[in-house]
Amino acid sequence: MLQKLFRTITVPSLKEKSAVAEISEETFNQFLTYCAAFYGNVGNYASFGDTKIVPELSIEDFKTIISMAENQDVTTLMEECVDSIYDLSPRRRQLGLGSEKGVSTYYSSNCEESDAVLVGDFMSEKDLSPYNTRLFKTSDESGGVIYTIKLASSSSSKESLSDTDDVAPLLGPHAYKGVTIVVERGDHAVAMGKAAAEILAAIPFSSGEAQPAMLKKYAESFETGSIKAHMDAQSVP
């Protein structure tokens, strides 16, 4: 929403139009402070402390300022997220895992700590790193629990992509301690693909033997979802 807003209208123009709509300078500055805090923390939770960042101005004034862009896409996004922006219900006040502790985008909303521990044990046994994963909990028709581990990667292929693709053998369903755990890759595929392509494009401009090898390993990690390849990139001699 904010990205589309500031691509649509400049801050001075937004301020001028907001003033016509009887938004005070103090209120407009409160809006800008929220935007700055959002961008500074890369989200609406504090990077230190994990508490939620909420606009100081009223929700009505927030909506009024956003509407000054006169852009339907921005307005639609605002309507979708504005209530969540101001939501200070117990679970939304901070980042955390579980219905009593907070909200997390690394786990589906029905996951508790016990779920994280169970799947964490499975991942440890399979030597599968959690660093680039998200976990979703669902159930099958008979009520059996299904956990889906999604790995960030540009490829969603279940086939091995190279001789060093250590992720491929782990893909698919696994029976584990009375539940089914499915390992998938291809999460955030578009973004990961763009990142991998830019990394490979940098190779002709690198120097020596170590830099090209490092970049190739980073690109491999982004393509396959392998954290081992990422670690290998940092240990290229």
Domain boundaries defined on the chain: 2-92, 110-237
Each residue's pLDDT tens digit, 72-113: 999 999 999 999 999 988 777 877 777 667 777 788 888 888
**Which residue type does 237 have?**
P
Which pLDDT does position 105 carry in this prediction? 76
pLDDT of residue 99: 65
pLDDT digits (tens, 9 = 90+) for 40-68: 999 888 888 788 999 999 999 999 999 99
Specify the 3-state DSSP secondary structure of 60.
helix
Look at the domain 110-237 and name its fold: Alpha-Beta Plaits (3.30.70)
> What's the confidence (pLDDT) of residue 164?
84
pLDDT confidence of residue 126: 94
- Interval 122-163: pLDDT, tens: 999 999 999 999 999 999 889 999 999 999 999 998 888 888
Contact 113, 99 (CB under 8 A): no
Q: What is the pLDDT of residue 100?
A: 67
Mean pLDDT, residues 214-236 taken together: 92
DSSP string, 73-127: HHHHHHHHHHHHHH---GGGSBB-SSTTT-B-SSB-TT--HHHHHHHHHHHHHTT
Share of the chain above pLDDT 70, in %: 97
CA count, 13 A, side-chain hemisphere, 83 = 3
Per-residue model confidence (pLDDT) at position 92: 79
Closest CA to 113 of 128, 90, 91, 96: 96
* Alpha helix segments (H runs only) across the chain: 2-8, 11-20, 25-41, 59-67, 72-86, 113-125, 189-202, 210-224, 227-233
Per residue in 179-211, pLDDT (tens digit) is 999 999 999 999 999 999 999 999 999 998 899
Three-class SS state of 173 = strand
H or E element that contains 150: strand 145-152
